[in-house]
Amino acid sequence: MPHTREPTTKRVTSAARTSPVAAPEPQPRGVRRKQETRTRLLDAALRLMAKKGMEGVTINEITEAADVGFGSFYNHFESKEAIYAALIDRVFEDYADMLDLIAGDLSDPAEVIAVAVRHTLSRARREPMWGHFLIREGFSARVLGHGLGQRLLRDTQRGVAGRRFFVADPFIGFLSLKGTLLAAIAVELHFAAPMGGMLEELGVNGEHFAERTASAVLQMLGLERVEADNVARRSLPGMQRKSKDRRPPLRAPKAAPASRRRQKVQSGGF
């Protein structure tokens, strides 16, 4: 009887089962420097424009605040209007995209609005310059139909169409919502500032301020108070878990060493 060989099975080691994932190639130093310079210019523009608006800021002020050579500005932006447009994308469009992402699993328009209000107030407290810019530009004709404003109008219209909200005019309802939100951001910034105690002396209580604001907005859109309170206090989807924006909050810039300031060129470079 012929001998039949047992089929051999190839032993698979754990190393073979788990193919290593190649680490991403580090970016060239020049690319990193360009990105860092662009970020510094945007951060400086945000700080300045939050206080004085686009018209009140010069390119020279931006480059000085960013500690970047004047000519280097044009390696990243064609004009002051161009850096302002980039800021609008960063403050309004990117943030609205994040809100869409974290509220993507929510089906109740009222909860979507409440989540937007609460996250916006929370971020304004964490990043005051972001909040100041939002207040200054929130009703600007340049941004009213973009980013956060566009999403709030869309969600208001959806709620009215689905008979979740009851307002005679969806656009006026949206304006009331946005006006309340911007006013609440201003108050939130006062609570976060050293002078926040002045509000408490006037009898203004900052406890659960974001939830109270969300409830007030929902009541303006037609919900009864008890239901609005319940929706405003639901568990809040986390920004950190789903956010695409890994940009750190703005901090006051560190003063550059005198030697570095003397070496700063007026054109070229990064």
Q: For the chain, which domains are there?
A: 31-77 (1.10.10.60), 87-245 (1.10.357.10)
More confident call, 80 vs 149: 80
What's the CA gap between 172 and 215, in Å, rounded? 18
pLDDT in tens, 126-184: 999 899 998 888 777 666 667 788 889 999 999 999 999 999 999 999 999 999 999 99
What's the CA gap between 40 and 253, in Å, rounded? 9
% of the chain with per-residue pLDDT over 90: 42
Least confident of 74-78, 83-87, 224-228, 256-260: 256-260
Q: Write down the pLDDT at residue 199.
A: 61
C-alpha separations of 55 from 12, 45, 84 in Å: 67, 12, 10
Q: For residue 245, give the nearest of 39, 82, 47 by alpha carbon.
A: 39
Q: Write down the pLDDT at residue 33.
A: 83
pLDDT in tens, 225-248: 999 999 999 998 875 444 444 444
CA 221 to chain centre: 25
> If you average pLDDT over each of 9-23, 191-205, 237-251, which comes out highest?
191-205
Q: 88: which 2 tokens?
A: 């609008």
Q: Would the pLDDT of 11 be above 80? A: no
The pTM (predicted TM-score) of the whole model is 0.71
> If you average pLDDT over each of 170-179, 181-190, 210-219, which comes out highest?
210-219
Report the pLDDT averaged over residues 244-257: 43
Residue ranges in 70-224 assigned as alpha helix (H): 80-88, 94-102, 109-126, 128-137, 147-161, 170-192, 196-201, 209-220
